[in-house]
Structures are given as C-alpha cells and as structure tokens.
Amino acid sequence: TVGAVALDASGNLAAATSTGGLTNKRYGRIGDTPIIGAGTYARNGNCAVSATGMGEVLLRCTVASDISGRMRYGNQSLKDACHNVVNGEIKGLGGECGVVAVDAEGQVHFSLNCPGMYRGTLDTHGEPLVAIYDTD
C-alpha cells in the first residue's frame, strides 16, 4: 500500500491511498484503502490521513475517521490522536499498521505499531526526509 497526505498553500488538505491488496487473496477481498474514513480521509481545518496495515482491522476500527474525530471532538493533537488510535484498539485486536497524517497547521505525523513503515516527508528546507524502520 502507498499513500500521501498534503496541505497546500491555500490551506486545503487532501489524502490519497492506493494498494494491490494481499498476496494470494481470494473472493474479491477489499481492505481499508478505498474506504473513506478507514484508510483514507481528509477534512479542512482538521486533518488528512492515509493508513496502511492489516486492512480488516483497520476497517473495523475506521482508523482515519477515528483520528479525525479525536481531534474534532476531543481536542486531541494530531500526534496524540494518531498515537492513541494506532496503539490502542487496533493493537488490542492484533492489527499491525501505520498512518501518515497532516493537520490544518501543516504539522506532519507518522505513527506505527510495527517494526517498519516506508515513509517520508519534507524537511524545513523542503528536502526529502525518508525513513523505513521504527527506530529511524
């Protein structure tokens, strides 16, 4: 799965996610990626989220909208909302996952509960900053 989130100069947020699914999948199985509010979500003034991981668990936990809701109704920061979701119910259900997110102020946050996630953002000079492992 791949994904991206962005805030543009006009203050508009967007999220995109794309996937090939699971190796050896059958029966037209679909995960969280194309489900708005599960693997992908964006709302101006709030946040944009793209998720990756065990799709069935991410679907049941409606990950992206949960992060959004915690910020909208619980006044949590982007960092706290992402951390609490990724390391909360999902982990309890055995779901390995990661999210990339950006808030209305342009703050970027990555959360993962597994050993690695291919990820990247731009540093303060606009240069690519990439990471793979949870220890990066």
Partner 1 sequence: MAQFSLAIHGGAGTIEKHRMKADLEQAYRHALADALLAGKNILMAGGSSVDAVVAAVVSMEDNPLFNAGRGSVLTHDEMVEMDAAVMNGKDLNAGALCGVRHIKNPIVLARDIMTGSSHVMLSGDGAEKFAFNEAGHVYTEQDYFFTERRYDQLLDAKSTGRAALSESTFPDDKKHG
Least distance in Å: CB of 89 to partner 1?
Answer: 17
Confirm or reject binding of residue 93 to partner 1 (CB under 8 A): no
Query: How far is it, in rounded angstroms, from Cα 32 to Cα 21?
Result: 9
- Which of these is catalytic: 1, 40, 52, 62? 1
From residue 46 to residue 85, the character string flagging contacts with partner 1 as x (rule: CB under 8 A) and all else as - is x-x-x-xxxx------------------------------
Residue 94 token pair: 């055995």
**Contacting partner 1 within 19-48 (CB under 8 A):** 19-26, 28-36, 39-46, 48
Q: Is 27 helix (H, G, I), strand (E, B) or coil?
A: coil
Residue 33: CA count within 13 A, CB half-sphere? 17
One-letter amino acid at 56 equals E
Is 124 an active-site residue?
Answer: no
Sheet with 97-103, edge to edge strand ranges: 40-43, 47-53, 97-103, 108-112
**Contacting partner 1 within 97-136 (CB under 8 A):** 97-102, 104-110, 112, 114-122, 126, 128, 130, 132-133, 135
**Which residues have a catalytic role annotated?**
1
